[in-house]
A and B are shown apart, each in its own frame.
Chain A
Amino acid sequence: MFAYTIRRFLTLIPMILIMTFLIFLGMDLTPGDAVSFMASPEAMANMSQAQLAQLRESLGLNDPFFMRYLTWLGGVLHGDFGYSLTSGVPIKDIVLSRIPATLELSVAALLISTFLGTILGLVSAVRKGRPVDHILTITGMIGVSIPEFFLGLVALLLFAINLNWFPIGGRLRPEYTVYWDHMKNLILPALVLGVTMTAGVMRYTRSSMLDTINKDYIKTARSKGLPEWRINLVHGFRVALTPVVVLIGFRLPILIGGSVVIEQIFQWPGVGNEFLGAVRSQNYPLVMMIALFSVFAVLIASFIIDLLTAALDPRVQLD
């Protein structure tokens, strides 16, 4: 297992190198003066042309492309992500300040979709071919067909504007004193994001559960005279959940991406919202660094998932 972990980790490195290279290439090709996002704006404001040229030289901007890439990569590895073009704030600070909000929304949506999805999938599998199953399957199809932002808009109109149960948007308001105060703000976006992801989990749980129910040991349990609920829950569902756990891990990138639109609708101050703002204002360094950051998140998540699968399922061969 240890050797596998190391080997799997080593395969990450070329991937990360390629990714950083592509991102750097992107930054190099997009318009904008490299000095403006490599030096802090306060320092630049008091500089003459000659000093700027000197700075350019000392930052290595006149070096060949590949050298510049290495310098830049070294900086990134030390946590120096450069400066935003529009606000002049270090990109690292922007991203770090936005992560908690996105994480909060994603985790809540993940919990909701996992909970709803596995339970509905279980019900649907146990009642296979009955009306409940058909209704759930069709509802699931409708769920994947509605654009998530449209669902968000309808939810906003119904629950926030007409019924006035929830605030219209935002996260932490000045009048909030305790952390839990903003739960009201979280519920609606998390529900919308969670519900749009439920259908996939449900479908997957259903087929995994159907696979499990047809196994021999379930027949044994049944012939032993165990009550039906016990067979389904304790013997079937627990085993059927293993692949579902893996699926949930694979949904992480979708979560990071999916929250872009939802964050926009509910004015949720997360990474996705910042990313959109950067794309709109053509703030290329910020766009590229957030993209790089999300790729890192995905790569690390898939690394952990692989390890988890190997740990959970003894049939996985470690080679």
Chain B
Amino acid sequence: MLNRQLILDKKMDRIRSMEESGTFKVHKGSRGMQKMLHNKLSIAGLVIFSVIMITSMFAPLFTSFDPLAIDLKAVLQSPSTTHWFGTDKLGRDVFSRVLYGGRISILVGFGSALGASFVGVLLGAWGGFRGGFIDKVFMRVSEIFMAFPQIILVLLLVSIVGQSMRNLIFIFMVTGWGSIYRMTRAKMLSIREEEYIQALRAFGIHPLIICYKHMLPNALGPIMVNITLSTAMFILQEAALSFLGLGVPLQIATWGNVLNAANDLTVLKSYWWIWLPVGVVISLFVLGINFIGDGLRDAADPSQQG
């Protein structure tokens, strides 16, 4: 306790001396951004995220192998300088499969999260603002979706609409919008009671404009956090589904599909390079997103001073 007091005292002294000598810099930019940048974990998350994102986006610059090219002369080779992560059962270069797979996996994750949030936010803002019958209906529908265990519902829908990348994004949107709807709605309900809304109403401004232009931006903070975290969730789900062989069709390289090889006990036992690196990459990427989301959460929360 005493130690902490001393540290704080020293900090204050330093700030005062800086102020007196005129070298004290006033921070520019938003306070939330500042807090975010001071959070070491979210910076680490941002770095991990960017590295994996950039290497996947510019995959052709980092590898000369085609992720789908079968080379039966180079089957099951262990990692070497030519094949960084070795090759799989069909002689495909695992490193390039991980990079190109990242493109699809990240696309599915972000696409679904954006789609689900778009639907959830659009409906939730209106439902929270107007209330009444529409709100009740949407609440009921979201309740129905949330009563299913997530993966059961996803698998059920996969079995009905069939396997493809587009269907997967659609399924994730259908299963994911409910929580974002509820969150947006709750936030809008509390904003609705504020006085500036009364003022806007008294001016006779159109409800749509009040709702989406004046209220929604104030509700976006926690929603942004939710979008990041659902991206992480959808990437994990895509990986799990593809691992089970029920996600993106197997001929497309995705992180989950690369891991699918580990269903085979001999691969699991003897050829670790096929599945271990990609598992680590997924974990790191999701960890990065979670760190960023956590930083965003702290930054958006005014009760936490940083």
Contacts and interface: CB of A to CB of B under 8 A. Distances in A.
A275 B155 contact: yes
Given A19-B144, A279-B158, A142 B152 contact: no
Interface string B232-252: 100010011001111000000
A26 interface: yes
Contacts of A19: 144, 147
Contacts of B158: 279
- Which of A145, A154, A282 has most B Cβ within 10 Å? A145
A50 to B, nearest CB: 33
A280 B247 CA distance: 11
B148 interface: yes
A288 B294 CA distance: 37
B287 interface: yes
A34 B160 CA distance: 16
B198 interface: no
B72 interface: no
A168 B265 contact: yes
**B: interface residue count bin:** 35 or more
A279 B155 contact: yes
A243 B177 CA distance: 26
B240 A261 contact: yes
A-side binding surface: helix, strand, loop or mixed?
helix
A256 B283 contact: no
Nearest to B279: A150
B-side binding surface: helix, strand, loop or mixed?
helix
A298 B148 contact: yes
Interface residues of A, number: 47
B285 to A, nearest CB: 8
Contacts of A264: 244
A299 B148 CA distance: 9
Contacts of B152: 256-257, 260, 275, 290-291, 294
A153 B156 CA distance: 25
Contacts of A279: 155-156, 158-159, 246
A147 B143 CA distance: 26
Interface in B226-275: 232, 236, 239-240, 243-246, 259, 262, 265, 268-269, 272, 275
Contacts of A302: 147
A298 B147 contact: yes
Interface in B142-199: 143-144, 147-153, 155-156, 158-160
B119 interface: no
A275 B244 CA distance: 12
A306 to B, nearest CB: 14
A145 B284 CA distance: 7
Contacts, number: 117
Nearest to A26: B160
Given A147-B240, A261-B240, A256 B149 contact: yes
Nearest to A146: B283
A275 B152 CA distance: 8
A147 B282 contact: yes
B245 to A, nearest CB: 7
A156 B279 CA distance: 14
B148 A261 contact: no
A226 B213 CA distance: 55
Interface string A41-54: 00000000000000
Given A15-B144, A253-B148, 19 more contacts: A19-B144, A22-B144, A147-B240, A147-B283, A149-B243, A153-B268, A157-B272, A168-B265, A253-B149, A260-B155, A261-B243, A261-B244, A278-B159, A280-B245, A284-B159, A287-B159, A291-B156, A294-B149, A299-B147
Interface of B: 41, 140, 143-144, 147-153, 155-156, 158-160, 232, 236, 239-240, 243-246, 259, 262, 265, 268-269, 272, 275-276, 279, 282-284, 286-287, 290-291, 294
25 contacts: A15-B143, A26-B156, A29-B160, A142-B287, A145-B232, A145-B287, A145-B290, A146-B286, A147-B239, A153-B268, A154-B279, A157-B269, A161-B269, A253-B149, A256-B152, A257-B149, A257-B152, A260-B151, A276-B244, A276-B246, A279-B246, A280-B245, A280-B246, A282-B159, A290-B152
